[in-house]
A and B are shown apart, each in its own frame.
Chain A
Amino acid sequence: MSDLIRDNEEIRPPVTKVGVLGWLRENLFNGWFNSLLTLATLYLLWLTIPPLVKWAFIESHWYTDPGVCREGGGACWSIIPKNVRFIFFGFFPEDQQWRPALTMILLVGLAFYSKDRRRWKKSLAVIWLVGILLMGWLMHGGLGLPVVETGKWSGLPLTLLLSFFGMVFAYPLGVLLALGRRSKLAAIKSMCVVYIELIRGVPLISLLFMSSVMFPLFLPEGVTFDKVLRAQVAIILFTAAYIAEVVRGGLQAIPKGQYEAADSLGLNYGKTMRLIILPQALKIVIPPTVGILISAFKDTSLVVIIALYDVLKTTKVTLSNPEWMGFSTEAYLFLAALYFVCCYAMSSYSRRLEKELNTGR
């Protein structure tokens, strides 16, 4: 042995197994099929990427008048900075637009503050309550600020508020519905089953239609109900049914022994659920719940159809301005990026939280 391996010489693997070459061989060119696949994919990328880069960056315009854009061939990103105030704030009075801006900063800031699990105490709930009251005051006005009717709330704040309150109210309602569906009381159970199946079987826009055309008929004469609030109710009712099904899955995963143990301790139904069952069940279903919340956030965009001015609608209004007509691709790509960042942040946070909470089991 010692003859073969001399002292200072280390025998290294062949050059084709390590480093860049080895990686390429391992991951892109192992076998004729994979090599062919790699070459075909590279060719497709070669066909699409360079023209796209040329369009989006090299020949693009970033802060020009639409006329200049029309002459040049590239992307016209100018539509965003030139209309950003309207896209973000819609019809909110221009001199008051610092208020929705502050509201959004507050909301995002609070969300970031609550990210850390060490801060999940009772004080956090108080902070949120104060924050929500502050946001309400900023958006609506009064107490020194000029009042802005909800009809003027539009753009990004509307999107964020509709989805935030949709999630906050739908979650407890969904948990209640799930408990109801698992309940032994026949009347409660069947009501919950009918509600959940009915809502899950119909598209969200049918509920939004209901909120916009049928709700007014339900109310006694003279009582009117704000349009934004009606849409908000529809979103909450819709999301709750989906959350209920996810939570039901979690409840089903709790072994019977846990219930029996709670019974043997003499806990009543409320205490059993609150202290033993729900903490475990809700933890199991974090990933699907976040999935539902992400869809709820995306689904808020459907309020466009009942003519509420969320951020998608304000973008469409900008596009219907003859000056900026024809630059839909750029505007929609910008919006897509906006939605992507929000949804991606939510899903990656859920993945992290899942890892952190994954203590037992």
Chain B
Amino acid sequence: MATTEYRSKVPFWRDPVKRGHLFQAAVLLTALAIGYTLFVNTQANLQRQSIATGFGFLEREAGFEIAEPPIPYSAADTYGRALLVGALNTLKVSSVGIFFSLILGTIIGISRLSHNWLVSRLSVAFIEVMQNIPVLLQLFFWYAIFYEAFPSPRQALNPLPGLFLCNRGLIFAVPAAHPSHVWMLAAAGVGIVGWFLLVRWGHRVQDRTGRLLPVHRMGMALTVLLPLAVWLLAGAPTAMDVPVLRGFNFRGGLTVSPEFSALLIGLILYTSAFVAEIVRAGIQAVSKGQIEAAMSIGLKPGQVLRLVVLPQALRVIIPPVTSQMLNLTKNSSLAIAIGYADFVSVANTTINQTGQAIEGVALIMLVYLFFSLSTSLFMNWYNKKMALVER
């Protein structure tokens, strides 16, 4: 009773709850007012410049070419399809980039902890240099290397048989198309599924009897041997599609353009330096006593790593590595600076041709938000799986 009496005497601007409501209402109203003003201004501006709004332009003919599209595309296709090509290119460069930067980053992170003085110093130097130079400058650098330091196709560098480096990009031999390839791929898929099932079965056997089965070795053998068997059954085709110099350029083989290569090299080197630091911190976070305890109960070095060190290190490593993966995806938008047709680059061309700036920028943001959110959803799921289960 006393409190309500007391409360009623407090003027409303001194009551934290009411003051909170008032403050929120003020902020919301301000935000709405700003939003409304912007909306009205934009409407007026668009009308004055007679720009149509809406996404109708996606159906219109794009009229520009895209080099090396991952799906069939020509200038006669729509803006919608052009943007799809751009999105697929972004997906391509970021997934390949993430894959390699995780591998390279792990190697360098472990090297930094090496007892070998030379190796650890070199890793430190690599990390410092790569982290402290803007990624855009690195992209320009690699792109310039392709066009200025590498010779023309006639004098192409040939470091390995079947691999050529020249100012037209990276050209290498691939196995000649053969109907058995599809079946080999299918066999590899069956092998991976079998591996997965074997691991589950192995766990069950271990839970029941305590016996450890070499499931990983069996699974690996399955994944390698099944496609090999298919290949042998198909008569072991060994024909290779080797690039040959014809006139001014190479024919055959697989060509990776300088734009794609420069983008990929730059992104991988830049991101792997950050991943390396994360991996190092993660490994250092595992206390020495854990490793000593694991060794004292007689685990082999491989088991110590797999059963004791990695599960604890990964807990520390996964969240920051996830943001590095997202950073790489976002940085791939710099492709526009060196002329690789990623999503931003295609969207920018679209904006310039149609004048639909708002829709274009909104599309760019939506696509990247989609990539970011789906990556972080997946990684959060994985993180939860690996996280420490506490009471």
Q: Is B13 an interface residue (CB 8 A)?
A: no
A211 closest partner in B (C-beta) = B361
A205-228 interface bits toward B, Cβ cutoff 8 Å, 1 = contact, 0 = none: 110011001101111110000000
Given contacts A41-B122, A205-B336, A217-B358, contact A339 B144 (CB under 8 A): no
Whether the Cβ atoms of A187 and B148 lie closer than 8 Å is no
Given contacts A304-B337, A328-B141, contact A41 B119 (CB under 8 A): yes
In the complex, A201→B369 CA distance in Å? 5
Q: Is A56 an interface residue (CB 8 A)?
A: no
Residue tally, chain B, CB below 8 Å to A = 56
Q: Is B65 an interface residue (CB 8 A)?
A: no
Given contacts A186-B24, A335-B137, A339-B134, contact A205 B344 (CB under 8 A): yes
B145 closest partner in A (C-beta) = A329
Whether the Cβ atoms of A336 and B122 lie closer than 8 Å is no
From 118 to 172 in chain B, residues with beta carbon under 8 angstroms from any chain A beta carbon are 118-119, 122, 128-129, 131-138, 140-141, 144-145, 148-149
Given contacts A27-B115, A27-B117, A188-B24, contact A201 B334 (CB under 8 A): no
Contact of A213 among B20, B344, B361, B372 (CB under 8 A): B361
Q: Is the interface of B mostly helix, strand, loop or mixed?
A: helix
Stretch from B39-47, B100-108, B206-214 contacting the other chain: B39-47
Q: Is the interface of A mostly helix, strand, loop or mixed?
A: helix
Q: Is B331 an interface residue (CB 8 A)?
A: yes
Q: Is A47 an interface residue (CB 8 A)?
A: no
Whether the Cβ atoms of B148 and A329 lie closer than 8 Å is yes
Residues in A neighbouring B44, C-beta threshold 8 A: 220-221
Identify the interface centre among A184, A185, A332: most chain B CB within 10 Å of its CB. A332
Given contacts A203-B331, A206-B333, A316-B140, contact A213 B351 (CB under 8 A): yes
A34 closest partner in B (C-beta) = B116
Given contacts A304-B136, A332-B141, contact A206 B368 (CB under 8 A): yes
Residues in B neighbouring A37, C-beta threshold 8 A: 114, 116, 118-119
Whether the Cβ atoms of B45 and A221 lie closer than 8 Å is yes
Residues in B neighbouring A202, C-beta threshold 8 A: 330, 364-365, 368-369, 372
Residue tally, chain A, CB below 8 Å to B = 53
Contact of A340 among B133, B144, B360, B373 (CB under 8 A): B133
In the complex, A37→B114 CA distance in Å? 10
A307-328 interface bits toward B, Cβ cutoff 8 Å, 1 = contact, 0 = none: 0000010001000000000101
Q: Is A354 an interface residue (CB 8 A)?
A: no
Whether the Cβ atoms of A336 and B358 lie closer than 8 Å is no
Q: Is B23 an interface residue (CB 8 A)?
A: yes
A111-127 interface bits toward B, Cβ cutoff 8 Å, 1 = contact, 0 = none: 00000000000000000
Stretch from A63-71, A78-86, A95-103, A295-303 contacting the other chain: A295-303
> In the assembled complex, how far is the CB of residue B116 from the closest CB belonging to chain A, in whole angstroms?
5
Q: Is B31 an interface residue (CB 8 A)?
A: yes
Given contacts A220-B41, A305-B337, contact A206 B365 (CB under 8 A): yes
Whether the Cβ atoms of B137 and A185 lie closer than 8 Å is no
- Further 20 A-B residue pairs, CB within 8 A, beyond A202-B330, A219-B41: A27-B116, A37-B116, A41-B118, A186-B24, A187-B27, A191-B31, A198-B365, A202-B364, A202-B365, A203-B364, A206-B333, A209-B348, A214-B361, A219-B45, A301-B136, A304-B337, A329-B144, A332-B144, A336-B133, A343-B133
Inter-chain residue pair count (beta carbon < 8 A): 156
Residues in B neighbouring A347, C-beta threshold 8 A: 132
Whether the Cβ atoms of B141 and A336 lie closer than 8 Å is yes
From 322 to 361 in chain A, residues with beta carbon under 8 angstroms from any chain B beta carbon are 326, 328-329, 332-333, 335-336, 339-340, 343-344, 347
Residues in A neighbouring B333, C-beta threshold 8 A: 203, 205-206
In the complex, A340→B125 CA distance in Å? 12
> In the assembled complex, how far is the CB of residue B159 from the closest CB belonging to chain A, in whole angstroms?
12
In the complex, A184→B118 CA distance in Å? 53
B236-267 interface bits toward A, Cβ cutoff 8 Å, 1 = contact, 0 = none: 00000000000000000000000000000000
Whether the Cβ atoms of B38 and A218 lie closer than 8 Å is yes
From 140 to 195 in chain A, residues with beta carbon under 8 angstroms from any chain B beta carbon are 184-188, 191
Residues in A neighbouring B45, C-beta threshold 8 A: 216-219, 221
Given contacts A206-B365, A344-B132, contact A201 B116 (CB under 8 A): no
Whether the Cβ atoms of B24 and A28 lie closer than 8 Å is no
Q: Is B357 an interface residue (CB 8 A)?
A: yes
Q: Is B48 an interface residue (CB 8 A)?
A: yes
Residues in B neighbouring A332, C-beta threshold 8 A: 137, 140-141, 144
In the complex, A71→B368 CA distance in Å? 48
Residues in A neighbouring B28, C-beta threshold 8 A: 187
> In the assembled complex, how far is the CB of residue A177 from the closest CB belonging to chain B, in whole angstroms?
13
Q: Is A42 an interface residue (CB 8 A)?
A: yes
Q: Is A16 an interface residue (CB 8 A)?
A: no
The 10 closest A-B pairs by CB, nearest first: A328-B144, A27-B117, A343-B132, A298-B134, A213-B357, A203-B330, A203-B333, A201-B372, A187-B24, A301-B134
